[in-house]
Structure 1
Amino acid sequence: MDDRSRVTLSIAIVLAGVLLAVAAASLVSEAETDQASGTVIDYGDRDTLWTDADLSGYGTALDLLEYACEFNGLSVTFDDDGAITEIGGVANTDTAEWGLWVVYPGSIEWVHLDAPYDYDPEEFTITSWSYVAEGEEPTVAVDYSGNPIYGYQQKFRVVSLSPSITEILASVKAENVVVGVDSYSNYPQSIADAAASGDIAVVGSYTSPSFELITGTNPDVVFADSSQRSHTNMVSQLRSASVDSVLLYPGEDLESIMDNIFIVGTVINYGMAAEEVIDDTYEVIDLLADKVFTPEAGGTVDLMISLDPDISPWVSGSDTYMSSISSLFNSNNVFSEWGGWVHLTSDRIPYANPEKIIIITTEYSATQEEYDYLYENLPAQWKDTDAWRNGEVYVICESAADLVQRFGPRTAQVAELTAMILHPDAFDTEVPKIIGDDYEDYLEFSTYMSYD
């Protein structure tokens, strides 16, 4: 991919955040929502058990649960009020208990329903008997359009419409079922090579997928990214043509990214591999947090994240991938009062006065010469910050720029680089001020999570 294409993709990601709020309002339509033919038993931490069932054969949600327990050889007990106290040997405790949770047609939100459980299961998109702690919700069970993620047959022909989704498929060891990708899917290299040779079809760009090219692959399922309006529209079009399509969640935080990996694994029946990716990610995040939240690592760092070194740059507010990841490691986004990616006027930068600045760009190469040129030629407003005065301006470029803009299975690597930039005293290895294709050389905990 040339630099101009990379810059176009970066801008597309920015604009996606601006448009997302508009698109989200029209994503879920009760008339278009499918109904799950079965029910979920959810033990928590994405440990779920799906049971297929014809809902018309069960008068109440309780009847459906009793069938699921009998089918799977599970016990179920109730208290005197008819509330569940135990399923499959897992009993209520002071911190968590069983309950009936549902998603209504036209929604993606969980709703808790009290006993007695005499509700008609056909009233809901999906029912889940979930073991959850107070203030928490069950494992995700519908995609971003409100369609259930359970009950699919085995998928052998899969199309991805975004680089992040392509990486998720590779991470769960499903490369062999990928028959189509977007033109920006350049990782892992095996996928890029297959697309270049024609073994995998290119079905359009990330921002402009092609209905004809997608359907030309005869897909079993198509995965789309809800942060792109064109993907939302494509999902509706594909479903109208009876093509199974799944709309993943915006990857704005760690939980939604892990949900997306879980959804992909569940839909294509690669759930165990997805669980391994999720568990490994949390393990690395926990290791990094243990190192960062120590007296030796220092205090909270005021951070600015920018997509370019311009006088009026696009910077990260709250509710972005990089802002969410950096917040895990004792940092304060100095522009968090805004949501998404924000086009700043230059006077805001010295006023915010970040201690550290991360610039994500594809217009520079990872050499000291190019870094020195960028650093010395930053606008005057950038130079009027503690970050510039103290030499705490970091540049992420080349393939590392792709890495930090893709909310997928390499999140642990993004997290490690970010933590090392924010708190270098907590780590044995020091990252340079400009990081490019050699980013893996600086990783210690997440090296094995490249999925290439």
Structure 2
Amino acid sequence: MRTHVISSRLLYVFMLGLMISLAACGQGNNPQATNSTPNTSAVTPTPALDVYGTPITIPKSAPQRIVSLAPSISEILAALNLQSHVVGVDAFTNYPASMASIKKVSSSTGFNVESIVALKPDLVLSSGGLSNKYDTQLTRLGLQVIDLPAPDFAQTLDQITLVGRLTHTETVAQPLVKQLQQQITQIHNTIKGTAATKALLEVDNSTPGKPYVFGGGSFGDEMAQYANITNIFHGNKTNGGYPQVNDEAVIAANPQYVILTEDLLYGGQPLAAYKRANWGNIAAIKSHHVYHINSDIMQRPGPRIVQGLRCLAQIVHPDKFSEKLPDYCAASA
């Protein structure tokens, strides 16, 4: 009998998804995918408040020793060319290589306060309350800790701008955000007029027959909407937007595409998906439309969200793209 094991990466995803879900309480549901132009710049800018609703104080001078407690923050710092000023990162930071090689200050079980303090950072950045058990302790030890709210897809560019302000790199952040917005608009224009396509967006299949999926309100679900994809579990918002479903529900929904975003170790192998019991009559299986996408580019609210969007859009609307599917779509990091 196979023992059910959820990857440590999935545990991180659940934590982040839950924080996003809690932050969204009281807001109206997002409509499913439409052909209206996704304009992130039209969204109200992220207020200068931390995850606890406390006003954020922008450092008077540029931080020289930064610790990142979230992989999305690490990727933003790298995009702002701040690698040389980052002295510590969380255990899940794996991209880019220059950040992955920096001293780790956490493990799958939590953060190492002593290790963080020993690095003498003048700024500690986190996101979505991932370090909420440690934020107060670190602050009492004299460190400036800023735990940013977990952004949704549309707010990600606002967060990049905010990190630019916090690190005094606005001159880098502003053109980066402009470029990312242009790329999002270009992808939208490329797939404009296409029909919405039903897809299963799988997160983990450690327990065969009972996969975890992207549900309503999850980062992957939002990205699917921008790619004009109808997530078959958009209406299921349990488990912070990452519900565990069963094969019967997948079969009944009959997706036209199956998108696997988990590691190969946890079910992310397209060839194996074709052999799953009772899946033979699913439209995606019959038409050989099963694909694997790197989970990081579909989960992390940072500069690579455009890559995730591009992969989803091109997989489901291949006739709209003249270039081959980018290698980063299935890359492991």
Which TM-score bucket, shorter chain as reference? 0.7 to 0.9
Instruction: Quote the residue 2:173 is aligned against.
Output: 274
Aligned-residue sequence identity (percent) comes to 26
In 2, distance between residues paired with 1:282 and 1:417?
A: 16
Q: Quick check: 2:311–2:326 contact (8 Å CA) kept in 1? A: no
* In 1: Cα distance, 2:48 partner to 2:221 partner: 26
Within the candidate set 310, 316, 323, 1:416 is matched to 310
Contact 1:157–1:219, Cα closer than 8 Å, also in 2? yes
Distance 1:287 1:23, change over 3 A: closer
Structure 2: 5+ residue runs without aligned partners? 26-39
**In the alignment, is the contact (CA less than 8 A) between 1:306 and 1:358 conserved in 2?**
yes
Once residues 12 and 176 of structure 1 are traced to their aligned partners in structure 2, the CA distance between those partners, rounded to angstroms, is: 26
After alignment, is 5-14 or 387-396 more displaced? 5-14
1:206 positional shift:
6.0
TM-score calculated relative to the size of structure 2: 0.83
1:259/1:435 CA distance change after superposition, 3 Å? closer
User: 2: CA distance between counterparts of 1:338 and 1:408?
Assistant: 25
* CA-CA distance at 1:422 after TM superposition: 1.7
Change (3 A) 1:375 1:346: closer
Match of 1:142? 49
* Aligned counterpart in structure 2 of residue 330 of structure 1, from 228, 246, 255: 228
Structure 2 counterpart SS, 1:222: strand
What is the CA–CA distance in structure 2 between the aligned matches of 1:417 and 1:341, rounded to whole Å? 21
What residue number does 2:93 align with? 185
SS in 1 for 2:246: coil
* Equivalent in the alignment of 2:69: 161
Distance 1:411 1:145 in 2: 25
- Indicate the residue corresponding to 2:126 in structure 1: 224
SS of aligned partner of 1:247? strand
- Distance (Å, rounded) in 2 between the aligned partners of 1:165 and 1:15: 15
Report how far residue 406 of structure 1 moved.
Answer: 2.1
Cα distance between partner residues in 2 of 1:433 and 1:302: 24
The answer to which of 263-272 and 281-290 deviates more is: 263-272
Alignment equivalent of 2:142, drawn from 208, 224, 242: 242
Structure 1 residues 138 and 432, CA gap change in structure 2 (3 angstroms): closer
Deviation at 1:420, TM superposition (A): 0.4
Alignment check: 8 A CA contact 2:258 2:289 kept: yes
> In the alignment, residue 383 of structure 1 is paired with which amino acid?
G
> How far is the alpha carbon of 1:282 from its aligned partner?
0.6
Q: Which residue does 2:323 correspond to in 1?
A: 429
Matches within 5 A, 1:355-370: 355-363=256-264
Distance 1:21 1:319, change over 3 A: closer
Deviation at 1:151, TM superposition (A): 3.4
Corresponding residue of 1:286: 185
Contact 1:223 1:248 in 2 (8 A): yes
Question: Given that residues 265 and 274 in structure 1 are in contact (C-alpha distance below 8 angstroms), is that contact kept between their aligned partners in structure 2?
Answer: yes
Q: Rate the CA distance shift 1:316–1:139 in 2: closer, same or farther, 3 A.
A: closer
Distance verdict in 2 for CA 1:184–1:12, change over 3 Å: closer
So what's the TM-score if we normalise by structure 1?
Answer: 0.62
Q: In 1, are the aligned partners of 2:51 and 2:149 still within 8 Å (CA)? A: yes
Q: Tell me by how many angstroms 1:177 deviates.
A: 0.9
Runs of 4+ in 1 over 6 A off after TM superposition: 22-25
Specify whether residues 292 and 347 from structure 1 end up closer, same or farther in structure 2 by C-alpha distance, changes over 3 A only.
same
Equivalent position of 1:318 in the other structure? 216
Distance 1:415 1:207 in 2: 31
Instruction: Spell out, residue by residue over 1:94-149, the C-alpha distance to the aligned partner (whole angstroms, 9 max, x if none).
Output: xxxxxxxxxxxxxxxxxxxxxxxxxxxxxxxxxxxxxxx9xx64552222222333
Kindly state the Cα deviation for residue 171 of structure 1 after the two structures are TM-superposed. Answer: 0.4
For 2:57 and 2:18, locate their aligned partners in 1 and report how far apart those are by CA, in whole Å: 31
How many angstroms does 1:150 deviate by? Answer: 4.2
Flag the structure with higher strand content.
1
Higher relative contact order (CA 8 A, sep 6+): 2
Cross-structure match for 1:10: 10
SS of residue paired to 2:195: coil
- In the alignment, the residues of structure 2 paired with residue 21 and residue 438 of structure 1 have an alpha-carbon distance, to the nearest angstrom, of 27
Matched, 1:350 2:251: yes
Give distance in 1, aligned partners of 2:88 and 2:224: 33
Distance 1:222 1:6 in 2: 29
Contact kept? 2:307, 2:329, Cα under 8 Å:
no
Post-superposition offset of 1:438 = 8.8
**Structure 1 residue 311, shift from structure 2 partner:** 0.9
Distance 1:171 1:433 in 2: 20
CA shift for structure 1 position 173: 1.1
Q: Which residue of 1 aligns with 2:283?
A: 386
* Displacement of 1:416: 0.9
Q: What is residue 297 of structure 2 aligned with on the other side?
A: 403
Of residues 409-418 and 283-292 in structure 1, the stretch that sits farther from structure 2 once superposed is 409-418
- Give the AA of the match of 1:392: H
Opposite residue 58 of structure 2, the aligned amino acid is: G
Range with greater deviation from structure 2 (404-413 or 285-294): 404-413
Give 1:364 deviation, angstroms: 5.5
Could you say what the CA RMSD is over the residues aligned between the two structures, in angstroms? 3.0
- Deviation per residue, 1:190-220 (Å, 9 max, x gap): 2223x2xxxxx32112661111111111111
Residue 93 of structure 1: aligned partner: none
Amino acid at match of 2:126: A
Alignment partners' CA distance in 2, 1:428 and 1:361: 27
Relative to structure 1, the CA distance from residue 212 to residue 438 in structure 2 (aligned partners, 3 Å threshold; closer, same or farther) is: closer
**SS in structure 1 of the partner of residue 260 of structure 2:** strand
**Structure 1 residues 216, 252: closer, same or farther in 2, change over 3 A?**
same
CA contact (8 A) 2:308 2:329 kept: no
- 3-state DSSP class of the match of 2:217? coil
Of structures 1 and 2, the larger Rg is shown by: 1
Q: Which amino acid aligns with 1:9?
A: R
Q: Secondary structure at the residue paired with 2:216?
A: coil
